[in-house]
Structure 1
Amino acid sequence: MTTSSLDLASLLCSRLCHDMLSPVGALSNGLELLADEKDPEMRQRCFELLDQSARISTDKLKFFRLAFGAAGGFGELVPVSEAQALIDALVANNARIVVNWALAGDSLPKPAIKTLLNFAHIGIEALPRGGTLDVAAEFRDGSSEIVVRAAGPRIAFDRDIGRALEGSLPEGELSSRTAPATMIQRMAQEQGGKLQFALSEGALVLGAMLPGA
């Protein structure tokens, strides 16, 4: 593993910890409140908040396991329904985001699944005020094509993530925020594929062509 790969792995771990801090912290806070609370109604409310935080933590861990990890337990092809369930769970507590699916086929190669999940995560983060997330994927003739479109009243997109997707971000500017985009860009490059994005006032479109994946 090269030094740059070690740096990338460290930054991906930092990103995972950053995203898990809020729901895990909520669990800790909920347990503290529960220890001091005597009112039955408030204790019930604490249990509900603990259940919600535990579910969010579990959903995020499952998502990042497949989006960042080695995807152990799966073969070379991963059921698309697995990725769909993970993304749906990620937005389950955000009523402002509606996810639309257009999936051709039952499975995709691991690199395509990872790209799909990371595209969806970027798209979700681009919709701080809500909107629609359209996810399309197809595996045909040995190649994968993925398109994710995030549309809403305000698109929040870090241009450095765009540069990371294109492979033009200098190594010295790599951060935990851009590490996932860098990871899938390198993965696409190894497959002889390409990632691209288009940003307009009301939409962000992410696309990938992955030959052999």
Structure 2
Amino acid sequence: MTTSSQIELASLLCSRLCHDLLSPVGALSNGLELLADETDPDMRDRCIELLEQSARTSANKLKFFRLAFGAAGGFGEAVPIEEAQGVVEALASDGKPVELKWAIEGSSLPKPAVKVLLNLAHIALDALIRGGRLDIGAEVRDGKVEIVVRASGDRIAFDDTIGKALQGELSLSELSSRTAAAHMIALVAEQTGGGLQYKVDDNALVLGAVLPQPAGMIG
């Protein structure tokens, strides 16, 4: 990617972050205004509950973006599995009823694999508009990290442009804040010599990735 392309992609990712944080941060601001004017004890307790919920949602989203887009996870090549699980479980518990199942071998995964896994999980959660089940699996086999994320429920909503971004079929000018993350992990897969796949029908969305394990981590 050229420098201008990198800047444009970073701008789109920042737009996505701001979009996702606008609602809970706005709720914090509104709640504080209500709390300042409210004198009824029961209503004040309710305002505090809403403030706590909004603060928790904001923190969960920031933790996710830090790990999925940033350089979180320490200075090593691997990220502990429980760190990735924690942010996904927090997102899955916010709002829609989602049953979350994990099947991951080992105690850590390479950073590129974690970024891909988290972003695939986020895409899958967005597709479960009425809730459902989210299965996340990963294993290292024959020097490769294989990742599978499956969302299943009564209704699956998946934007075809996200699928095109996952396959690297969108140009930079065609990207939006909604598809930027999918484009980013497509670049991660391409740069590491791996690939992404997806399949969708009325009741399930399956997202997959195969990424070579960094040489320093093999064995």
Normalised to the residue count of structure 2, the TM-score between the two structures is: 0.94
Q: Give the secondary structure class of the aligned counterpart of 2:94.
A: coil
Deviation at 1:211, TM superposition (A): 1.0
- What does residue 54 of structure 1 align with? 55
Aligned residue type for 2:81? V
Matched, 1:138 2:126: no
Q: Which runs of 4+ in 1 moved over 3 A?
A: none
Deviation at 1:72, TM superposition (A): 5.4
Distance of 1:124 and 1:29 partners within structure 2: 27
- What does residue 117 of structure 1 align with? 118
Distance of 1:140 and 1:107 partners within structure 2: 14
Deviation at 1:79, TM superposition (A): 0.6
Deviation at 1:201, TM superposition (A): 1.3
- What does residue 217 of structure 2 align with? none
Distance of 1:135 and 1:18 partners within structure 2: 26
Higher deviation after alignment, 67-76 or 167-176: 67-76
Distance of 1:175 and 1:106 partners within structure 2: 35
Distance of 2:8 and 2:49 partners within structure 1: 39
- What does residue 30 of structure 2 align with? 29
Distance of 1:26 and 1:141 partners within structure 2: 48
- What does residue 80 of structure 2 align with? 79
Deviation at 1:169, TM superposition (A): 1.2
Deviation at 1:94, TM superposition (A): 2.9
Higher deviation after alignment, 140-149 or 52-61: 140-149
Deviation at 1:142, TM superposition (A): 3.0
Q: Give the secondary structure class of the aligned counterpart of 2:59.
A: helix
Distance of 1:182 and 1:128 partners within structure 2: 22
Deviation at 1:172, TM superposition (A): 1.7
Deviation at 1:170, TM superposition (A): 2.3
Matched, 1:38 2:39: yes
Q: Answer whether contact 2:125 2:134 (CA < 8 A) is retained.
A: yes
After TM superposition, the structure 1 = structure 2 runs for residues 167-182 of structure 1, keeping only pairs within 5 Å, are: 167-182=168-183
Deviation at 1:162, TM superposition (A): 0.3
Q: Give the secondary structure class of the aligned counterpart of 2:176.
A: coil
Q: Give the secondary structure class of the aligned counterpart of 1:155.
A: coil
Unaligned residue ranges in structure 2 (runs of 5+): 215-219
Deviation at 1:73, TM superposition (A): 2.4
Distance of 2:10 and 2:213 partners within structure 1: 24
Normalised to the residue count of structure 1, the TM-score between the two structures is: 0.97
Q: Give the secondary structure class of the aligned counterpart of 1:135.
A: strand
Q: Deviations over 1:50-104 (max 9, x none)?
A: 1111111111101100001122524101011110011001112335111111111
Q: Give the secondary structure class of the aligned counterpart of 2:155.
A: coil
Aligned residue type for 1:88? E
